Chain A
Amino acid sequence: MNRITYSLNYRKPKENYRADDELVICLRYFHKFGSNNKGKIIKKSTGIKCKLSDWDIDWHKNTERFPIKNSDKLFSKKNKLLKKKVKEFQFFISNLDSINTVSKPKLCSKVPLGPIADQWTSHKNNIRLVSPANKRLIDIIVVGTGLAGGSASATLAELGYNVKSFCFQDSPRRAHSIAAQGGINAAKNYQGDGDSTYRLFYDTVKGGDYRSRESNVYRLAEVSTNIIDQCVAQGVPFAREYGGLLDNRSFGGVLVSRTFYAKGQTGQQLLLGAYSAMNRQIARGKIKMYNRHEMLDIVKVDGKARGIITRNLINGKIERHSAHAVVIASGGYGNLFFLSTNAMGSNVSATWKIHKKGAYFANPCFTQIHPTCIPVSGDHQSKLTLMSESLRNDGRIWVPKTMADAKSIRDGEIKPTELLENQRDYYLERRYPAFGNLVPRDVASRAAKERCDAGYGVNKTGEAVYLDFEAAIIRYGTEKAHLKGLDENDDELVKKLGREVIKSKYGNLFQMYEKIVDQNPYNTPMMIYPAVHYTMGGIWVDYNLMTTIPGCFAIGEANFSDHGANRLGASALMQGLADGYFVLPYTIGDYLADDIRTGPIPTDLPEFDDAEESVINKITCLLENQGSKTVDHYHKILGKIIWNKCGMSRNEKELKEAIVEIQNLRKDFYKNVFVPGTNESFNEPLAKALRVADFLELGELFAKDALDRTESCGGHFREESQTPEGEAMRDDKNFTFVSAWEYKGNPSNAKLHKEQLSYENIELKTRSYK
């Protein structure tokens, strides 16, 4: 029982007081211990005083519920303060309650029983369905229109639900899934190289360094083949061979060719496919699309997700939207680092808001640092550009063998092409002969950092390595010359032919590199360096993709489920579409089956009032702040803290420092940030301030999680836990679990819940790519 009442704080018998004595008002609530209903009444002082004569003993009969009578000259101000206190307490108590009910298992993954290969089928056969007639009565909100959000909106609408979709961009087609380059995995085995559902499942779990949930990954591998069929039927122009059938390429961390692609624009083509499916439903009126709307809070009614509060980015209007379920598909939080390959607008706000209202945040520290990005060129840099991993199929990565050569290159005295084969250190091929340049991303990134830290970097800042296509150009050129019956010994001709082949495979990437760096990668090796790219961590979800808030679902990059501690290339597109097209539309029915009689959810409930009020207060607080520093100023500092202390390698000392620095930065932000303009206009700095405020909170949880996990696994490398050769060392005995953090008032109080992971279909062993 959590009812809160006001009372006056009598310290001596009531009759000893006089009418004009001042008494402090306190709040009373009943605090229950354990399950046997024992408890006690607790009083908390509010610090607000009123005269005994001004105390309205009948206040609880009023509709207004104000305990202080209007004879007190400050009555309205005091009553307002009291109301605010009650709200704070309510939140505090709701947290207390959850502490007291830990005996009840909160993290139930709901994985179906039975052999892993049959789980998804049997689950689909057994979950509850909503009849087509009832689907019409149910509204679903989908936040985000990337691969996961777009495909989910389209499919839910097609099934008959009323869908409201939200994106902050000016059109759903601009979601950042569009920038994915390399491809999408599917266990089709079209190449006949021994691929199967099990192998894709195995590779994904192994690539994720055994920190993902087996059942979810198996399901992902199982539905992967449907994705390709589906997308081809939708008119996605995948690359084809001359025979007219689909082409494949290979990607890092695997030994088969299972990646489908559309040049270096696979993400674009798949997203436009999902966008077209959405358009079909928008035309039918089944999706109502809200462009340039940002979700600023979730609304819970009776513990269930029932709506969201949004801000219209054009005119600042704060709007209420209700639904029977809320689906979060807002992507990852890589922009925490300021510099990342994410879009400028990508943010954590939607996921952070649901976290603050009760959704657990899982493995926040699992971040993917992608090995092949264009290096940073200066302080003005606003974002980093990825060069697809597919380039590692044909490119060889190297640095000079000697420190002297590296220095000469940095000083511009010699060109990389002048170094002979034996003066180069192909460090990936040297360290990992079996996988060579195609080791998983985390391994490749750390190896690059290791070489650069040792002083072998090749650009001005010493933070770049070479990605060289010369060998591939000659190999392809010779092949082509042979095919055409031309002179295979003519160097110039071979190179010309080879460049044409490379152009047909990676043309747009080479062009992009040339535009940004102003060097021609056909003639001189590309310079690359690792950059933040993807976040494996995210909102904790069960097998049905539901978060710990009933009725709130998280899909795509926003959830944590499938990639463990490291994601393999071309698996993000696969997961986004699998969740959106094939998983969520089924599993959401199991929850909504209870809601067929609920009827429309009104938006005038007090829960909506409260959520809207807190959003407005936050905006007002930021706009009225008399600061002098811009939002980017804080975002850049935050990014530097995270990159330097919680980046590619982490240790206890620096993580602890990072936590303190972020806390201080957050305080400083609220004191000194300057946000220009008004709420009622197109105000990008305001939108950004709201996002950065959430990053400042997430950053602390991120460091806290990294500190807590003292093992190294996947993208999370703790310096304290490595082999003598410098490879990551897992600690399966103590860390085979998912860290799910529960919000407790602020990030430093977050409470850890563990979901133990069990591996029944794959043997848990040390990852080796040697």
Chain B
Amino acid sequence: MKLKLKIWRQENSKSKGKMVLYDIDNVSPDMSFLEMMDVLNEELMIKGIDPVAFDHDCREGICGSCSMFINGEAHGPDRYVTTCQLHMRKFKDGDTIYIEPFRAKTFPVIKDLVVDRTAFDRIQHSGGFISVNTSGNTQDANSIPIEKANADKAFDAATCIGCGACVATCKNSSAMLFVSAKVSQFALLPQGEVEATDRVINMVKQMDEEGFGNCTNTGACQVECPKGISLDNIARMNRELVKAQLKK
């Protein structure tokens, strides 16, 4: 396949970026999107052009590093995949593909397609944990049975990979899906209940301080989420928040 790539190039966080056009030939439909980017970068380097910087690591769709906005969609046109698992068979010969970083005020660009998502980490620091000592003196794992349905729902929420597609997709750059996934996971488990009040208040507060927008229930995040995290989690977080505020 032959493709035209229009890629966001930006030297560093301070410089101004722009879209630059590159042509690429010999793209195989079996390539993953990032392998196509590898080929492009090899060609650019041989020509003496600075290769396009992008985040990537596991290339199995689980680490959450890759963060490309492809043709106006986070992680591209396919559903339930990250960019690394998007394959070129989803595109046609002669296509022009627009590749941008995940855009949000809270995700400043570091270079080209690489963005700074440490705001997510800071939200997790504010309450994304259960305060239990890790020295091993805990009770037996089977001493508290957990209803399977709840355990499964907690697991589904816990599969969030922290990529930021929800924020990049949301017109308000809201991180509600990300934050609610963690809040839900713990709210659904008896181990997490103890600190539920403080957790939801602190995490939401930190989310607001970071500058993420609010949720207006358009549901775009759920559609673009590579792991299919459900909007139900946001509802659950809102309920947890109201409950916590009433308690306080």
Contact = CB atoms under 8 A, between A and B. Distances in A.
A367 interface: no
Contacts of B192: 235
B106 interface: no
Interface string A210-248: 000000000000010010111111111111111111100
- Taking chain B's interface residues, is the majority helix, strand, or loop, or is none over half, making it mixed? loop
B55 A512 contact: no
Contacts of B185: 235, 237
23 contacts: A154-B134, A159-B135, A170-B65, A176-B57, A178-B62, A179-B62, A226-B136, A235-B185, A237-B151, A239-B151, A240-B145, A240-B148, A244-B146, A262-B158, A267-B62, A276-B124, A279-B128, A378-B28, A382-B32, A386-B60, A511-B80, A518-B30, A518-B89
Contacts of A674: 45
B22 to A, nearest CB: 16
B141 A188 contact: yes
Given A233-B191, A245-B142, A291-B118, A684 B53 contact: yes
Interface string B112-139: 0010111011001110111111111011
Interface residues of A, number: 85
Contact of B145 (A171, A233, A245, A263): A245
Contacts, number: 217
Contact of B81 (A269, A345, A515): A515
A169 B57 contact: yes
A37 B50 CA distance: 59
A382 B128 contact: no
- Contact count band on B: 35 or more
A275 interface: yes
Contacts of B162: 171, 173
A207 to B, nearest CB: 24
A682 B101 CA distance: 15
A684 B120 contact: no
B154 interface: yes
A151 B134 contact: yes
Contacts of B155: 237, 239, 262-263, 269
Nearest to A227: B136
A377 B31 CA distance: 8
Interface in B13-69: 28, 30-32, 34-36, 38-39, 42, 45-46, 48, 50-51, 53, 55-65
Contact of A229 (B140, B151, B152): B140
B9 interface: no
A240 B136 contact: no
Interface in B130-176: 130-136, 138-142, 144-148, 151-152, 154-155, 158-159, 161-162
Contacts of A275: 124
B35 A381 contact: yes
Interface string A597-635: 000000000000000000000000000000010101000
A518 B87 CA distance: 9
A344 B132 contact: no
Nearest to A632: B42
A277 B138 contact: no
A382 B62 contact: no
A155 B130 CA distance: 14
Interface in A122-170: 151, 154-155, 158-159, 169-170
Contacts of A238: 141, 151
Contact of A178 (B58, B59, B142): B58
Contact of B124 (A151, A240, A242, A279): A279
B139 A382 contact: no
B111 A280 contact: no
Contacts of A385: 59-60
A625 to B, nearest CB: 13
Nearest to B151: A240
B129 A280 contact: yes
Interface string A245-280: 110000000000000001101011100100111011
Q: Which of A158, A231, A272, A511 has the most CB of B within 10 A?
A: A272
